[in-house]
A = this chain, B = another copy of it.
Amino acid sequence: MKKEFKPLTKAEEEIMQALWQLDKAFVKDIVDLLPEPKPHYNTVSTIIKILEEKGFAGHESLGKANRYFPLVQKDEYSKKSMNQFVGKYFEGSFANMLSFFAKEKDISVKELEEILQLMKEQKNTK
């Protein structure tokens, strides 16, 4: 029974985001994707190795090169992050979080209803 949630560090998260976007990628692809100032090739290489150690990514070897892919999916990670966040800032209540943001962001009632509709559809097609 583990409660541990080990968030990614800033640099790790950036690489992971790239990996989620590319799905399968050589280090070079990640460097190419990232905006200026691009990190050093070896920096990315190091970080992706750390991500492998942490179980966030894996790779398959194609000749000498490694093609990396995510082992933890973006959905899964965002869910955990969100739960963490709601825990700390909204007493663990999803509803609290929602009502706060409905107030904060100028979301109209019409929009809310559209969102609700979307949610209902999501539930039906689950």
Q: Which residues of A contact B (CB under 8 A)?
A: 13, 17, 74-75, 78-79, 81-82, 85, 88-90, 94-95, 97-105, 107-109, 111-116, 118-120, 122-123, 126
Enumerate chain B residues within 8 angstroms of A95, measured Cβ to Cβ: 111, 114-115, 118
Cα of A89 to Cα of B85 in the assembled complex, Å: 13
Enumerate chain B residues within 8 angstroms of A85, measured Cβ to Cβ: 78, 81-82, 85
Report the minimal beta-carbon distance from A37 to chain B, rounded to whole angstroms: 17
A101 touching B109 by the CB < 8 A rule? no
Enumerate chain B residues within 8 angstroms of A74, measured Cβ to Cβ: 89
A89 touching B99 by the CB < 8 A rule? no
A122: contacting residue among B89, B103, B120, CB under 8 A: B103
